[in-house]
């Protein structure tokens, strides 16, 4: 009896959280109950924020899931975000993290990277609404500059540089590839206050393949990790152990999950300085 009452109360409280953020919060809440993704089919085409933002979506199911991840569960809600001057959003999708970061600190400079063309077109419209300054890049981040083959899945959250899992039968095309350390040098960025990485398997190449990245101070990194790497070049590499060598502290709410999200604070480079 008590368990059922608690469940109902938790559901009621979560629904209220959706409605606190969105004027169509009930619709988005119900969509999320149906599952993570359903392609372009759904009952809403915008997330209607109560502050006036009209966030366009191309996959309502995926958008509802990401919204829950960002705004309801607070997986990227860290104190460092409020004072961050330079923010990197790597794997922007339709820009909900950039939106969340801008609401936390409208004076920040956000650098956004998204290779999936369908996501990018929606992202471009969305980021025009933000008060924060945004540098938008239609590109993948990789350890080698040039072009790479990218698999654009029907469900945008599965798009990846690897044609496996949800991108197994996806359309593929070439996209520009940027080396992050080169980008930082070109934009005279000496310190990253907050970096979010959610790139469906490419996190190994971004973080391990680019040695010069670690010459830049990174105050806070939040990264979703494949526990089983899709990138065969890094099979058997423990990315968590690698990051422990780079940061003063690492936390994860669910380290045994297939795709755990790690929050890493204060690169050891800062200590050397």
Residues 70-83 pLDDT 10s: 999 998 999 999 99
CB-CB neighbours of 250 under 10 Å: 16
CATH of domain 75-141+178-272: 3.40.50.150
**What does the angle CA 32 – CA 74 – CA 87 come to, to the nearest 5 degrees?**
115
How high is the pLDDT of residue 153? Answer: 85
Q: Is the pTM of this model over 0.85?
A: yes
How high is the pLDDT of residue 41? Answer: 61
Mean pLDDT, residues 250-255: 88
- pLDDT over threshold 90, residue 128: yes
- pLDDT over threshold 70, residue 270: no
How high is the pLDDT of residue 273? Answer: 47
- pLDDT over threshold 60, residue 146: yes
Mean pLDDT over all residues of the chain?
Answer: 90
Q: Is 154 exposed, middle or buried (0-12, 13-18, 19+ CB in 10 A)?
A: middle
How high is the pLDDT of residue 40? Answer: 57
- pLDDT over threshold 80, residue 3: no
At a CB cut-off of 8 Å and minimum separation 6, what does 112 contact? Answer: 89, 92, 95, 98, 123, 127, 134, 135, 136, 137
CATH 3.40.50.150 boundaries in the chain? 75-141+178-272
Which residue is it, tokens 């999708």? 93
- Residue, of 179 and 42, whose pLDDT is higher: 179
């Amino acid at each position: 009896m008590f368990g059922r009452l608690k469940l109902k109360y938790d559901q009621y409280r979560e629904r209220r959280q959706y409605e606190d953020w969105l004027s169509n919060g009930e619709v988005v809440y119900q969509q999320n109950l149906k599952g993570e993704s359903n392609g372009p089919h759904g009952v809403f085409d915008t997330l209607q924020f109560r502050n006036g933002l009209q966030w366009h979506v191309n996959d309502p199911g995926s958008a509802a899931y990401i919204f829950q991840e960002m705004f309801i569960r607070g997986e990227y809600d860290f104190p460092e975000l409020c004072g961050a001057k330079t923010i990197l959003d790597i794997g922007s999708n339709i820009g909900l993290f950039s939106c969340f970061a801008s609401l936390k600190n409208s004076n920040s400079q956000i650098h956004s990277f998204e290779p999936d063309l369908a996501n990018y077109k929606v992202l471009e419209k969305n980021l025009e609404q933000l008060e924060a300054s945004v540098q938008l890049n239609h590109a993948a981040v990789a350890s080698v500059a040039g072009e790479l083959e990218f698999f654009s899945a029907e469900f945008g959250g599965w798009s990846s540089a690897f044609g496996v899992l949800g991108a197994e039968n996806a359309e593929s095309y070439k996209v520009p590839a940027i080396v992050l350390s080169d980008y930082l040098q070109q934009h005279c960025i000496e310190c990253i206050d907050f970096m979010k990485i959610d790139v469906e398997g490419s996190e190994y190449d971004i973080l391990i393949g680019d040695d010069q990245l670690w010459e830049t101070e990174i105050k806070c990194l939040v990264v979703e990790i494949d526990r089983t790497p899709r990138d065969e070049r890094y099979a058997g590499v423990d990315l968590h152990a690698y990051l422990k060598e780079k940061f003063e502290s690492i936390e994860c709410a669910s380290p045994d999950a297939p795709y755990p999200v790690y929050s890493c604070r204060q690169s050891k480079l800062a200590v050397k300085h």
